[in-house]
């Protein structure tokens, strides 16, 4: 895992330039729910690691629940309301900005 980014602009830049997932945050279930993320459709979990990546055409948020890398969950920016919504989510995961 690489060093955690500090700003949204750094996260976006590194996601496009580096060929790896950019770590944003590790949250427990309650913290994730407070961001507005609907956890009801997922199996019970204690913690989620959140990453940002670039798929060549848009940004994607990647969620890894309880270190189980076999079943990550992905949200493309186009699925969550576009670039502005993705930026808002990244800000939230970085602890505001």
Q: pLDDT tens digit string along 35-67?
A: 999 999 999 999 999 999 999 999 999 999 999
Q: With 0-12 CB in 10 A as exposed, 13-18 as middle and 19+ as buried, what is 66?
A: exposed
Confidence of residue 96 (pLDDT cuts 50, 70, 90): low
pLDDT > 90? residue 93: yes
pLDDT per position as a tens digit, 63-92: 999 999 999 999 999 999 999 999 999 999
- pTM equals 0.92
């Amino acid at each position: 895992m690489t060093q955690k980014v500090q700003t949204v602009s750094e996260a976006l830049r590194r996601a496009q330039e580096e060929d790896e997932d950019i770590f944003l945050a590790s949250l427990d279930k309650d913290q994730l729910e407070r961001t507005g993320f609907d956890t009801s459709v997922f199996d019970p979990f204690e913690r989620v690691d959140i990453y940002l990546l670039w798929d060549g055409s848009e940004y994607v948020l990647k969620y890894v629940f309880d270190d189980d890398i076999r079943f990550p969950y992905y949200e493309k920016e186009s699925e969550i309301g576009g670039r502005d919504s993705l930026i808002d989510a990244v800000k939230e995961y970085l602890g505001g900005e």
